Amino acid sequence: MPPETDWQVRLHAVDWSLFHTIYGVATKVPEQIERLHSPDENIALSGAADLRAGLCHQHVQIASAALPAFPFIMEMLPFSSEKVTVEILEMLAGFAITTDRVRMRQFASAVGKRRLPRPGWVEELRGALQMALPRVAAYATHENPTISELARMFIDEIGKDAVST
């Protein structure tokens, strides 16, 4: 068996049982990330779709496993096919939307729930998203209109922070 690559060593160093997805404990996330990293587009697409569903459900819920998964997702962005890039950017836009304070307060109010204080990991993820802004912004002029639209959505969501501070 070949030795693990750097990203695999880092992936397996995370105690995923300490994190959650929308569906429960995040023990399936490493396998989903490994699929995302597959050179086979269909396998990578299935990993991306599972990650998006479990980490950022329908752009209204964010899961704690999004924080440790984020670097592995970002690492694949420049190496992905256009279809996988769309899935990754959709996920990143969801992360941006669901870590926005105002938007989440409005959502909680609309569904009749009192919003609890934001956990520290949400702020940490928001900071990581802000740091990723230049890397994602590079896709705003992509020839694929879906890719450019998702990149601009991410820019708009994360760009609010620069305006409000």
pLDDT truncated to tens, each residue of the chain (165 aa)? 345 578 899 999 999 999 999 999 999 999 999 999 999 999 999 999 999 999 997 777 899 999 999 999 999 999 999 999 999 999 999 999 999 877 666 655 565 565 555 678 999 999 999 999 999 999 999 999 999 999 999 999 998 765 554
Quote the pTM value.
0.87
Q: What pLDDT, on the 0 to 100 scale, is given for residue 165?
A: 45
Q: Which amino acid is at 147?
A: I
Q: What pLDDT, on the 0 to 100 scale, is given for residue 107?
A: 57
Q: How many CA atoms lie within 13 A of 87 on its CB side?
A: 23
Q: Does domain 6-164 have CATH number 1.25.10?
A: yes
3-state secondary structure of 38: coil
Dist. CA 121–CA 38, nearest whole Å: 28
Dist. CA 146–CA 152, nearest whole Å: 10
Q: Is the dihedral of CA 33, 43, 78, 63 positive or negative?
A: negative
Q: What pLDDT, on the 0 to 100 scale, is given for residue 44?
A: 97
Residue 58 carries which DSSP code?
G
Q: CA-based Rg of the chain, rounded to a whole angstrom?
A: 16
Tell me the backbone φ, ψ of residue 20, rounded to 5 degrees. Answer: -125, 155
Q: What pLDDT, on the 0 to 100 scale, is given for residue 119?
A: 78
Q: What pLDDT, on the 0 to 100 scale, is given for residue 114?
A: 58
The label of the residue with tokens 């690559």 reads 5
